[in-house]
Amino acid sequence: MEVIVIEDEAPAARRLRRILQALNVKVSCVLHSVEESLNWFENNKHPDLIFLDIQLSDGLSFEIFENIEVKSAVIFTTAYDEYALQAFKLNSIDYLLKPIDEEELAKAVEKYKCFKPNPIAEHIDFNDIKKLLVNPLERIYKKRFSVKVGTHIKLILVDDIECFYSHDKATFIHAKNGRDYLIDFSLEALADGLAPENFFRVSRKFFINVDAIKDILDYSNNRLEIKLHDFNEHQIIVSRDRVKDFKNWIS
């Protein structure tokens, strides 16, 4: 089975590739943009299966299909509205929300293996799908995260998370039990998977849970400092350009 990944976020691409390898699915290459993908398809045999993000560094991946006829099945790996999700599931193999759940990915791969090698992707009307994305409806958000603790896999419910934070080029969960867990996502990759009524990105380094806020203090240069119930490893400062949106969020 020939498989490629089209994904512009390096951490997300690495994690997807690693999970697929664990499922004995070899990824031939990873493409990062519309332009790079077009060049690749013009010079290579089309793969059996594409894991496809929608928002790429230089535009929407729909542009690929508008310029060439891709003869491959597609599993979408992105985050859009629920109505579009239904449309994708009718026309492609599956639609997986970021951050990608390992069990859901395994099921999507098995679903593909059950299909005959008919080129499903060529029946997708990408113009119709783009119209569906103009008016986003209710999204589906992550309810839990899986983290590795030694030789075990632990499930952390989103409601039990005080914050997500980045430190030394890594991303961590700080749970209400006082423990920190390393996860293989960037904060950018987390953005589409977190319910905005519950989580807010106060700076480049922090997403915080509204239920975890203990105190809000004035800070220098018209910024705010956030105190959480348990987390005290790093100072949490609301960036000045996010203060207004933060105040609207908590109210």
DSSP the chain: --EEEE-S-HHHHHHHHHHHHHTT--EEEEE-SHHHHHHHHHHSPPPSEEEE-SEETTEETHHHHHHS---SEEEEEE---HHHHHHHHHHSSEEEESSPPHHHHHHHHHHHHHS-S--GGGG--HHHHHHHTTS--PPP---EEEEEETTEEEEEEGGGEEEEEEETTEEEEEETTS-EEEES--HHHHGGGS-TTTEEE-SSSEEEEGGGEEEEEEETTTEEEEEESS--SS-EEE-GGGHHHHHHHH-
Torsion of CA 196, 186, 1, 113, to 10 degrees: -30
Same domain, 7 and 126: yes
Tell me, yes or no, whether 11 and 122 share the same domain: yes
- CATH number, position 233: 2.40.50.1020
Q: Is the pLDDT of residue 79 over 70?
A: no
Are residues 22 and 95 located together in one domain of the fold? yes
The answer to the question of residue 138 being in a domain is no
Q: Same domain for 177 and 220?
A: yes
Pairing of strands 170-175, 161-167: antiparallel
* Whole-prediction pTM: 0.50
How many CA atoms within 13 Å lie on the side-chain side of 44?
A: 16
First to last CA, the chain: 51
229 within domain boundaries: yes
Query: Which range is least confidently modeled, 19-28, 30-39, 107-116, 156-165?
Result: 107-116
More confident of the two residues 185 and 23: 23
Domain boundary among 132, 154, 171: 132
Confidence of residue 17 (pLDDT cuts 50, 70, 90): very high
Main-chain phi, psi angles of 227, to 5 degrees: -110, 125
| Same domain? 7 vs 119 | yes
Q: How many domains does the chain have?
A: 2
Domain ranges, residue 161: 144-250
CB atoms within 10 A of CB 234: 13
Please indicate, yes or no, whether residues 184 and 213 belong to a single structural domain of this protein: yes
Structural domain contains residue 28: yes
Assess whether pLDDT exceeds 80 at residue 109.
yes
- Whether the pLDDT of residue 215 is over 80: the answer is yes
* Main-chain dihedrals φ then ψ at residue 250, nearest 5 degrees: -75, -15
What's the distance, CA 237 to chain centroid?
Answer: 25
Cα 32 to chain centroid, rounded: 15
In this structure, is residue 139 part of a structural domain? no
What CATH number is given to the structural domain containing 8?
A: 3.40.50.2300
- Boundary-marking domain end, from 99, 132, 165: 132
Contact (CB, 8 A) for 224 and 245:
no
Phi first, then psi, for residue 238 (nearest 5°) are -75, 120
Q: Indicate the residue among 68, 97, 132 that finishes a domain.
A: 132
Residue 29 domain flag: yes
In this structure, is residue 114 part of a structural domain?
Answer: yes
Quick check: is 230 in a domain? yes
Instruction: Note whether 154 and 40 are same-domain residues.
Output: no
The pLDDT tens digits for 150-177 are 888 889 999 999 999 999 888 999 999 9
Q: Give domain status of residue 137, yes or no.
A: no
Is 128 found in the same domain as 7? yes
Q: Is the pLDDT of residue 119 over 50?
A: no
- Residues 171 and 73 both lie in one domain: no
88 and 155: one domain? no
70 token code pair: 């891709």
The verdict on 128 and 17 lying in the same domain is yes
Same domain? For 188 and 112 the reply is no
Tokens 């499922």 — which residue? 23
